[in-house]
Structure 1
Amino acid sequence: MTPSIQRPLPSSPRSHIAAAAIADAVLILVFAAVGRDAHQRGDVVTGVLLTAWPFLAGAALGWLVSRAWRNPLSVHRTGLAVWLGALVGGMVLRLLTGQTVVLPFIIVALLSLGLLLVGWRLAWAGAGARRLRSA
C-alpha cells in the first residue's frame, strides 16, 4: 500500500486572484451603496465607505483564513469563507465601532452578501461547465 501524497492546489494565475479580490470588493461596495441609498442620504462616497469598511475587512479575513489566493473562484472553499467573513466580521466590527446591528439588517446582509459573494462564483462555475459541455 503506497502512502497518498497530498499535492498543494496549483496556484491560480495572478489575474484570477486580482479579478476575484476586486469583484468581491466592488460587490461589497454595491451592497453598501444600495443600503445607504435605501436608508440614508447625504455624503455618498464617505457614507458608502463608512458602511462598507467593516464588511471589506471581514471579507479580507475570509480571504486569509481560506487562503483564497489558491483557488479564488471556488464556490465552496473561497466563496463561503469570504461571505461568512464579510458577514460575521462586518457585524462584529460594526458592533465594536458603535454602528447599528439589528436583526433585520443581519438578515438582509446575510442574504445580500451571500447572493453577491457566492453568487458570482456560482455563475462563473456554471458558465465554465457550460463551455466544457459545448466543446
Structure 2
Amino acid sequence: MPSSTRGSLLPVSAAVIDAALILLFAAIGRDTHQRGESVLGVLATAWPFLAGAAAGWLIARAWRAPLGTWPVGVVIWISTVAGGVLLRLASGHTAAAAFIVVALITLAVFLLGYRLLWVLVLRLRTSRRRS
C-alpha cells in the first residue's frame, strides 16, 4: 500500500476507534444501569458524546496528528465530555456530578489510553531498531 494511502487511513482509523470507544462507554453505562442493550438505546446515550468528540476533532485539527496525546488527545477527550454533558443537558437528560466524574475518568482511559499505548509501541519499535 502506498504511503500516501496509509497516511490518509490513519485519521479515519483513529476517528473510528474514538467512536467505537465512545459507543462502548455508552453501552457499559446502559448495562450498568440496567436500561437494556438495544442499539438505538446505546446510540441515544452516545450521540451527545460523539458530537462532542467530532467538535474536538475539528478544534484540535486532529487529522494532522490523530494519535497524538497532547494536545490532540486531550482536546478530543475534554470536548467529548464537555460537549456530551452540555448536549445531554440541552436535550432534557440529567448529568449528575458522579456521572460527569465517571465520564471524565472512563473517557480519559479510553481516548487517551490507546493513544498513549500507541506512543509506547512506537518508542519500543524505535529503540529496538537502534539496538
Report the TM-score, using the length of structure 1 for normalisation. 0.89
Given the two structures, how large is their TM-score scaled by the length of structure 2?
0.91
Which amino acid in the other structure matches residue 133 of structure 1?
A: S
Q: What is the percentage of aligned positions where both structures have the same residue? A: 49
SS of corresponding position for 1:73: coil
Q: Give yes or no for the alignment of 1:133 onto 2:131.
A: no
- Unpaired runs of 5+ residues, structure 2, are 1-5
SS at match of 2:9: helix
Matching residue of 2:93: 99
Name the counterpart of 1:29: 23
Q: RMSD value over aligned CA atoms?
A: 1.1
Give yes or no for contact 1:27–1:117 (8 Å, CA) kept in 2.
yes
Instruction: Give the number of equivalent residue pairs.
Output: 124
Deviation at 1:41, TM superposition (A): 2.6
Q: Which amino acid aligns with 2:102?
A: V
User: What stretches of structure 1 of length at least 5 have no aligned partner?
Assistant: 1-11
Which contiguous aligned blocks of 4+ residues in structure 1 show a shift greater than 6 angstroms?
A: none
Greater Cα shift, 21-30 or 32-41: 32-41
Mark the structure with the bigger radius of gyration. Answer: 1
1:115 Cα shift? 0.6
Between structures 1 and 2, the one with greater helix share: 2
Structure 1 residue 99, shift from structure 2 partner? 1.0
Q: Which letter maps to 1:108? A: V
